[in-house]
């Protein structure tokens, strides 16, 4: 650690008089591009950015209108230069990411894990209205292994196979998916997660299986506009609060919602021969029955919520507040 000179202490450079550790924390709040530029301020600053506690790489916006190729080259140089210095937060916020950069993206995520990052944020901002969910960049299918990761936020990516198996992340407590697709994910698994947030994402469009959410220690659950087949919610004995908004593109809809449900034999109803795939376990109510506060938000469609579980929900001594909202346009 370099000690400020007498002139620096007496002069107006109060920031320069701070210890290296404090300056490294401050640099972690800057975009990585700005943090690197501080190397020209003085000899003491030449390498401080390499030990910043957080890396926040931003690209494709007004301040950093770099091409994806330029951004990739910058991040490769950045990580190579800083080596294995420990990280607290690693954030990638890109626009217009393509499949050509996927190998680099997966390497960067694994790099952050090896640097013992506690917080990982990946935000890929694409044009969803034009490109659609099926053109999202795909993360590799290998599970993360980290004894330090406590928070993971994914935006605008497709995850599949074993990536959402977080059994090797024993202190992970916060998990967020936004504008993601996990149609090929059979299970989101974690014994440590306490807060799960899935918004504007696709859980499945395939008949062979539904995505199962196995998080027995979950405290709060937020499912907002999850398209496709409803995920299986396994037992959540610690659940305190749950919010579920059922979108128009939910596939669990009775085809006779406008007529007589009891005469219907569509796939979503519990009378159907194929209902064993979801009967008594795939619907929301069984997994939500332990919640103390529950909000169900639906469009004006008859959504399959296995009637045999309704008494369980309403007789539960846990639930203190049930709000069911139907929006009609």
For the entire predicted model, the pTM comes to: 0.80
Write the pLDDT tens digit of every residue in 196-222: 999 998 887 665 677 889 999 999 999
pLDDT > 90? residue 173: yes
DSSP E strands, the chain = 54-58, 89-95, 119-125, 151-155, 174-178, 187-189, 195-204, 212-214, 220-228, 232-233, 241-246, 293-298, 321-326
DSSP E strands, 229-320 = 232-233, 241-246, 293-298
Question: In the numeric block, which tokens belong to residue 240?
Answer: 């305190």
How many CB atoms are closer than 10 A to CB 40? Answer: 8
Which has more confidence, 81 or 264?
81
Write the pLDDT tens digit of every residue in 32-48: 988 999 888 888 888 89
Share of the chain above pLDDT 90, in %: 28
């Amino acid at each position: 650690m370099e000690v400020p000179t007498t002139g620096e202490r007496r002069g107006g450079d109060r920031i320069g008089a701070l210890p290296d550790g404090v300056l490294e924390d401050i640099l972690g709040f800057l975009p990585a591009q700005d943090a690197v530029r501080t190397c020209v301020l003085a000899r003491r600053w030449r390498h401080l950015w390499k030990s910043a506690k957080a890396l926040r790489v931003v690209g494709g916006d007004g301040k950093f209108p770099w091409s994806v190729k330029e951004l990739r080259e910058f991040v490769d140089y950045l990580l190579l230069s800083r080596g294995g210095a420990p990280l607290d937060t690693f954030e990638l916020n890109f626009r217009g990411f393509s499949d050509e950069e996927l190998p680099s993206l997966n390497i960067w995520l694994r790099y952050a894990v090896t640097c013992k990052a506690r917080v990982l944020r990946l935000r890929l901002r694409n044009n969803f209205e034009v490109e659609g969910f099926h053109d999202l960049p795909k993360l590799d299918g290998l599970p993360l292994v980290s004894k330090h990761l406590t928070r993971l936020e994914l935006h605008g990516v497709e995850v599949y196979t074993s990536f959402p198996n977080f059994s090797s992340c024993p202190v992970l407590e916060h998990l967020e998916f936004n504008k993601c697709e996990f149609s090929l994910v059979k299970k989101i698994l974690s014994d440590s997660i306490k807060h799960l947030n899935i918004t504007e994402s696709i859980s499945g469009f395939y008949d062979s299986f539904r995505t199962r959410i196995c998080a027995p220690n979950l405290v709060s659950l937020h499912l907002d506009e999850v398209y496709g087949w409803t995920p299986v919610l396994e037992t959540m004995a610690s659940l305190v609060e749950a919010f579920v908004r059922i979108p128009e593109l939910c596939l669990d809809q009775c085809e006779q919602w406008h007529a007589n449900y009891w005469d219907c034999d569509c796939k979503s109803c519990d009378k159907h021969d194929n209902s064993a795939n979801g009967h008594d376990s795939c619907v929301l109510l069984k997994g939500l029955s332990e919640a103390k506060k529950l909000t169900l938000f639906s469009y004006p469609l008859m959504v399959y919520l296995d009637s045999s579980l309704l008494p369980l929900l309403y007789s539960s001594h846990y639930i203190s507040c049930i709000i069911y909202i139907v929006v009609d346009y």
